Chain A
Amino acid sequence: MNEIGFDFCGAALSARASGALWWPDRRLLAVSDLHLGKSDRIARRSGAFLPPYETRDTLHRLQAEIDALSPATVLCLGDSFDDLQAAAHLDADDKSQLARLMAGRRWIWAEGNHDPGPVDLGGTHLAELDAPPLVFRHIAQPGARAEVSGHYHPKARVALGRHTIARPCFLMDADRLILPAFGTFTGGLSCGAEPLKSLMRGDARAFLLGATMVALPAAAAL
């Protein structure tokens, strides 16, 4: 299976090629930065009509992970909706798809900077999730330990001879783990750029998503 298993602050975790984090002992699946309804918000705010299919694509990919792993808990680690109005504007098909995914399991919406309030779609709304030994919150806090977060959409650039490739990645050091964005319409922040660079320790590792996941020292990425 295309994933990288690792130990983080005493928890055995698995970084999946989809960008999801799997915690088998708790049967917990965490995904961050879904940005559902992004095209709706862009159309509302700027008048640009991007292909309005990112919500169903994101949900399809989430469904594939849920089918593969049957999690007891799904944790959406903030910025699950591009804004609260985008959540209200979800297409009827997308809403019922989401309801099917939520059925029969614990579903947590952690709040993010894009979606600070509760949404009318079921599930539990939390500011952060304390799941010892780990704590899950949207934005990494300075000095935190055993913390899993999202928000920055980390990606890594690697030079392969003359050509450079960039891929979304997980970032991990002894204290923190940062998840890549799971949403379809998301970009990335290079792990060599601030504030990610100073947030992570010098010996941080990056797990790059792709047809075959690979681990790199984060400092080696451009």
Chain B
Amino acid sequence: MTDLPPRFHDWFARHGRVPHPHQLALLARATDPALLLIAPTGGGKTLAGFLPSLVELADGTHQGLHTLYISPLKALAADIKRNLRTPIDEMALPIRVEDRTGDTSYTQRRRQRADPPHILLTTPESLALLLSYEDAPRIFAGLQRVVVDEIHALAESKRGDQLMLGLSRLQSLCPGLRRVGLSATVEDPPALARYLACHPAPCQIIAADPGPAPDIAMLETDAPPPWAGGGGRYAIPAILDQVRAHRTTLIFHNTRAQAEIFFRELWLANTDDLPIGIHHGSLAREQRERVEAAMVAGQLRAIVCTGSLDLGIDWGDVDLVVQVGAPKNVKRLVQRIGRANHRYNAPSKALLVPANRFEVVECVAALQAALAGDLDGDPRGPGPRDVLCQHILATAAAGPFDADTLYAEVTSAGAYAALTRADFDACLEFAATGGYALRAYDRYQRLVQRADGQWALRDPRSAKQIRMNLGTIIDADLLKVRMKNSRGGTPLGEVEEHFAASLSPGDTFLIGGRIVRYEGLREMTVEVSPNPDRKPKVAVFGGTKFSTSTQLSARILAMFETGDWSALPRHTADWLDLQRQVSQLPRLDRLLVESFPHDGRAHTCFYGFAGRNAMQTLGLLLTQRMEQAGLGPLGFVATDYAVLIWSLDPVADPGALLAPEGLRDAFDTWLAGNAVMKRTFRAAAIIAGLIDRNTPGRRKSGRQATFSSDILYDTLCKYDPGHLMLDITREEALKGLVDFGRIEEMLARIHQRIDHRQLDRVTPLAAPLLLEVGRVPIAGQGQERLLADAAERLLAEAGLS
């Protein structure tokens, strides 16, 4: 039990404040092995996390590292360093605080390893790297506390699993280590507490006062939103009015491409020359830092941004958050709203701007859910084994280890508590030899068991390669974009390689709010020149594709069932009425299927409302059956509520395609051969250390020497179907990308009651799907037929036929 010392008491008093109850609660329980604090943004959450450290370090006797702070964002670490300066300087505390991220200089990082500060602020990736050094025990000697910030965000991805394995390692190096997690509002706090704690130690949950309910509404505009499309261009005049009426407005978009287009349109309409910036993860660091600095200095009235500003960075005086496009899940909406009004007792103010009429319905459903405090989320599965394989390699890079000890350590991480010894041994075997049935690599073995039973790297030089491959973030292959000039040119940001490959010299695209002209590719860098006066071909950033939670989908379907449009604006009510006239609205106990021609192809839309993963799985299964039926499916796109398939020939009998007989078997055979599995395999193979990350320098070499990871996947399926990597791929795909269980539920729900509407044009409800990103192509007879046609036409055009 620790009380607030007088020096701290006086400091709060000097600022005319009293500590928040949850700040004192964390201090009182400072000796607990694990604590989880759930507090809204602006609730003094970070100070609550650090207060026990500041108190313990105040007498200046502690030598070496005392507290490790982990955040998901580099920018957050830098921001916290700034914020910690105030109490430390004002109370003249003898505490050294430093940050360490991928941006920290080499000299600085060297020095930190030799002489660590009292408080080190870092990211999961930098921690993994530190732990992989041979001198890790010395670096972390004396460590008392670890503070994990935004743990709710980390827990949603493999970065969190990597971090928790890292903490299990730290716990062995520093047995008394105490853990604190700081989280925004989440749906299942006890699950997050189990995730944080050193299993099976308990973890107390401390919930701060959530503050007043947010002031949140849909933006009213004179112009109605379009039927389809994203971006919210129609709302620009109304949004500009709001920007004028507030000090600082954050304008969130769901994708980077949308943010770019919107920023350009907003700028063209900005006749008052209000200072407005853009911020997203594809922009060059220099560009982002300029915007961040201007924001801290209070020089910007609005920032158009994406999830890169999502986490609790305390920058400037934001008094309004605008969300353009439907918030795809309620939890994210609530967390974004938390960005406004960082004063604890004022309600957060937010406006939702639906980009099209379907999103109006989604926004209304999200508003109702947010006001009801009804958060959504899926339970996490067991800890992913590709991350474990990487952890085993990283541990070996730090020095020899004992398998029993490492197994005990790993199972102390909540997510891995149920990992069997056999599963662990399979991962160890994979790390050592590749784990193939054909023992081809015994002569090159990566890890060897020494006479004393310890496992060690066969060749110590491989530690360098292991470190280079650390991390769990797998980006699409990105190329840097620079202005073309003799001195190298200003970096502008990054685009995906497949987008760059689609450009011809002279094409224009948007990046960082400017239109640039593609000049060419030089050494894996896209060179561009300024081109202010042409209409851009839009940059297609893969970006993050959020999916609407099933909980929101269910609310929407329920709204359709009631036929009560009173919560909806007039234009949207009209739109739904039109859908009812030309076709019908989806219902809970029936399946609506619409077929119509569009763009020279037959289209069929299945409104299953089973969530994006299930709809994607259904798309893959249906196209497989269409292939068998000779309909020439070419591709599909799935959303949370529907899957849209295009094909050469139209679907006449959707009932036959949906027949449940054999669907389960088809699912199992299909699972092995589809594109989603290959994508999952690539990510898992990189994380597990089967293939190296594509470093840009490496890809410069001859292209014919590199080959696709799809070939590796196919080869494994054919010759070693029991291999660990295939097992991991299947598990990962079933966890996130495919979902057969919900399809079975849906089929049971509709019980073959199918309403098939054959129409001569796109319906109001189907229109938004035509603009969805994430189209999945089908390589089948349809593609063969198209290719044969294209070949004939091209030969004829060239006069060669």
Interface, chain A (partner B; CB < 8 A): 39-40, 43-44, 46-54, 56-57, 91, 152-153, 158, 160-165, 181, 184-190, 193, 203, 205, 208, 210-212, 214-217, 219-220, 222
> Within 8 Å CB of A40, what residues of B?
440
Which one, B74-82, B207-215, B306-314, B716-724, is touching chain A? Answer: B716-724
Beyond A47-B459, A48-B690, is A215–B795 a contact (Cβ under 8 Å)? yes
Q: How far is the CA of A54 from the CA of B711 in the complex (A)?
A: 9
> Within 8 Å CB of B784, what residues of A?
210-212
Q: How far is the CA of A72 from the CA of B791 in the complex (A)?
A: 34
Structural contact, A91 and B438, CB atoms closer than 8 A: yes
Structural contact, A187 and B707, CB atoms closer than 8 A: yes
Which of A48, A51, A161 has a CB less than 8 Å from the CB of B692? A48
Which one, B656-664, B753-761, B775-783, is touching chain A? Answer: B775-783
Is B493 positioned at the interface, with any CB of A under 8 Å from its CB?
Answer: no
Q: How far is the CA of A203 from the CA of B775 in the complex (A)?
A: 34
> Within 8 Å CB of B433, what residues of A?
49
Q: How far is the CA of A210 from the CA of B723 in the complex (A)?
A: 28
A to B CB contacts below 8 Å, 25 in the list: A43-B440, A43-B444, A47-B446, A47-B465, A48-B689, A49-B446, A49-B690, A50-B691, A51-B716, A51-B723, A52-B436, A57-B715, A158-B790, A185-B711, A185-B715, A186-B707, A187-B705, A188-B703, A189-B703, A210-B784, A211-B784, A212-B784, A216-B791, A217-B795, A220-B797
B744-788 contacts to A (CB < 8 Å): 775, 777, 779, 781, 783-784, 786-788
Q: How far is the CA of A215 from the CA of B793 in the complex (A)?
A: 11
Q: Please report the number of residue pairs spanning A and B whose Cβ atoms sit closer than 8 angstroms.
A: 129
The 4 closest A-B pairs by CB, nearest first: A49-B434, A52-B440, A187-B707, A53-B719
Query: Residue of B at shortest CB range from A54?
Result: B715
Structural contact, B690 and A188, CB atoms closer than 8 A: no
Q: How far is the CA of A215 from the CA of B795 in the complex (A)?
A: 8
Structural contact, A220 and B798, CB atoms closer than 8 A: yes
Structural contact, A53 and B718, CB atoms closer than 8 A: yes
Known: A47-B446, A53-B715, A153-B704. 10 other contacts (CB 8 A): A49-B434, A51-B436, A51-B719, A56-B719, A158-B787, A165-B777, A185-B711, A185-B715, A189-B702, A217-B800
> Within 8 Å CB of A215, what residues of B?
791, 795
Beyond A49-B434, A56-B719, is A161–B786 a contact (Cβ under 8 Å)? yes
Query: Residue of B at shortest CB range from A202?
Result: B798
Structural contact, A212 and B440, CB atoms closer than 8 A: no
Which of A184, A205, A212 has a CB less than 8 Å from the CB of B788? A212
Structural contact, A46 and B704, CB atoms closer than 8 A: no
Structural contact, A53 and B720, CB atoms closer than 8 A: yes
Query: Residue of A at shortest CB range from B776?
Result: A163
Q: How far is the CA of A164 from the CA of B160 in the complex (A)?
A: 36
Is B502 positioned at the interface, with any CB of A under 8 Å from its CB?
Answer: yes
Is B38 positioned at the interface, with any CB of A under 8 Å from its CB?
Answer: no
CB distance from A213 to the nearest CB of B (A): 10
CB distance from A42 to the nearest CB of B (A): 10
B675-707 contacts to A (CB < 8 Å): 689-692, 702-707
Beyond A53-B715, A185-B711, is A160–B459 a contact (Cβ under 8 Å)? no
Is B97 positioned at the interface, with any CB of A under 8 Å from its CB?
Answer: no
CB distance from A210 to the nearest CB of B (A): 7
Structural contact, B692 and A46, CB atoms closer than 8 A: yes
B459, B715, B716: residue with the most chain A Cβ atoms closer than 10 Å: B715
Q: How far is the CA of A82 from the CA of B635 in the complex (A)?
A: 37
Q: How far is the CA of A179 from the CA of B634 in the complex (A)?
A: 29
Is B712 positioned at the interface, with any CB of A under 8 Å from its CB?
Answer: yes
CB distance from A113 to the nearest CB of B (A): 11
Structural contact, A164 and B502, CB atoms closer than 8 A: yes
Structural contact, A208 and B787, CB atoms closer than 8 A: yes
Q: How large is the interface on B (under 10, 10 to 19, 20 to 34, 35 or more residues)?
A: 35 or more
Q: How far is the CA of A190 from the CA of B718 in the complex (A)?
A: 27
Beyond A46-B692, A185-B711, A210-B784, is A216–B794 a contact (Cβ under 8 Å)? yes
> Within 8 Å CB of B546, what residues of A?
none
Query: Residue of A at shortest CB range from B792?
Result: A214
> Within 8 Å CB of B718, what residues of A?
53, 57
Structural contact, B441 and A52, CB atoms closer than 8 A: yes
Beyond A47-B459, A153-B704, A214-B791, is A160–B783 a contact (Cβ under 8 Å)? yes
Is B462 positioned at the interface, with any CB of A under 8 Å from its CB?
Answer: yes
Is B486 positioned at the interface, with any CB of A under 8 Å from its CB?
Answer: no
Q: How far is the CA of A203 from the CA of B794 in the complex (A)?
A: 12
Structural contact, A51 and B634, CB atoms closer than 8 A: no
Beyond A52-B438, A203-B798, is A47–B462 a contact (Cβ under 8 Å)? yes
B623-663 contacts to A (CB < 8 Å): 634-635
Query: Residue of A at shortest CB range from B435?
Result: A49
Query: Residue of B at shortest CB range from A57?
Result: B715
Query: Residue of A at shortest CB range from B778?
Result: A163
Structural contact, A214 and B788, CB atoms closer than 8 A: yes
Structural contact, A185 and B707, CB atoms closer than 8 A: yes
Q: How far is the CA of A43 from the CA of B703 in the complex (A)?
A: 20
Beyond A160-B783, A165-B779, A220-B794, is A47–B704 a contact (Cβ under 8 Å)? no
Query: Residue of B at shortest CB range from A38?
Result: B707
Q: How far is the CA of A222 from the CA of B777 in the complex (A)?
A: 18
Q: How far is the CA of A107 from the CA of B691 in the complex (A)?
A: 35
CB distance from A51 to the nearest CB of B (A): 5
Query: Residue of A at shortest CB range from B788?
Result: A214
> Within 8 Å CB of A189, what residues of B?
702-704
> Within 8 Å CB of A214, what residues of B?
787-788, 791
CB distance from B88 to the nearest CB of A (A): 45
CB distance from A139 to the nearest CB of B (A): 12
> Within 8 Å CB of A44, what residues of B?
444
Beyond A47-B446, A153-B704, A214-B788, is A163–B777 a contact (Cβ under 8 Å)? yes
Which of A54, A162, A165, A217 has a CB less than 8 Å from the CB of B783? A165
Is B708 positioned at the interface, with any CB of A under 8 Å from its CB?
Answer: yes
CB distance from B523 to the nearest CB of A (A): 14
> Within 8 Å CB of B444, what residues of A?
43-44, 47, 49
Query: Residue of B at shortest CB range from A220?
Result: B794
> Within 8 Å CB of A205, what residues of B?
800
Structural contact, A187 and B706, CB atoms closer than 8 A: yes
Query: Residue of A at shortest CB range from B469?
Result: A48
Query: Residue of B at shortest CB range from A52?
Result: B440
Structural contact, B692 and A43, CB atoms closer than 8 A: no
Structural contact, B704 and A188, CB atoms closer than 8 A: yes
CB distance from B194 to the nearest CB of A (A): 35
Which of A56, A57, A160 has a CB less than 8 Å from the CB of B786? A160
Beyond A193-B703, A220-B794, is A50–B787 a contact (Cβ under 8 Å)? no
Q: How far is the CA of A39 from the CA of B438 in the complex (A)?
A: 12
0/1 string, B446-472, CB within 8 A of A gives 1: 100000000000010010010000000
Q: How far is the CA of A121 from the CA of B437 in the complex (A)?
A: 26
> Within 8 Å CB of A91, what residues of B?
438, 440
Q: How far is the CA of A49 from the CA of B440 in the complex (A)?
A: 9
Q: How far is the CA of A157 from the CA of B706 in the complex (A)?
A: 16
CB distance from B714 to the nearest CB of A (A): 9
Q: How far is the CA of A124 from the CA of B795 in the complex (A)?
A: 40
Q: How far is the CA of A116 from the CA of B344 in the complex (A)?
A: 74
CB distance from B627 to the nearest CB of A (A): 12
Structural contact, A50 and B775, CB atoms closer than 8 A: no
Q: How far is the CA of A205 from the CA of B715 in the complex (A)?
A: 30
CB distance from B40 to the nearest CB of A (A): 43
Q: How far is the CA of A222 from the CA of B712 in the complex (A)?
A: 25
Which of B705, B708, B798 has a CB less than 8 Å from the CB of A219? B798
> Within 8 Å CB of B465, what residues of A?
46-47
Q: How far is the CA of A186 from the CA of B702 in the complex (A)?
A: 12
> Within 8 Å CB of B692, what residues of A?
46, 48
Query: Residue of B at shortest CB range from A219?
Result: B798
Q: How far is the CA of A194 from the CA of B477 in the complex (A)?
A: 22
Structural contact, B704 and A186, CB atoms closer than 8 A: yes
A39, A164, A203: residue with the most chain B Cβ atoms closer than 10 Å: A39
> Within 8 Å CB of B635, what residues of A?
163
CB distance from A144 to the nearest CB of B (A): 20
> Within 8 Å CB of A210, what residues of B?
784, 787
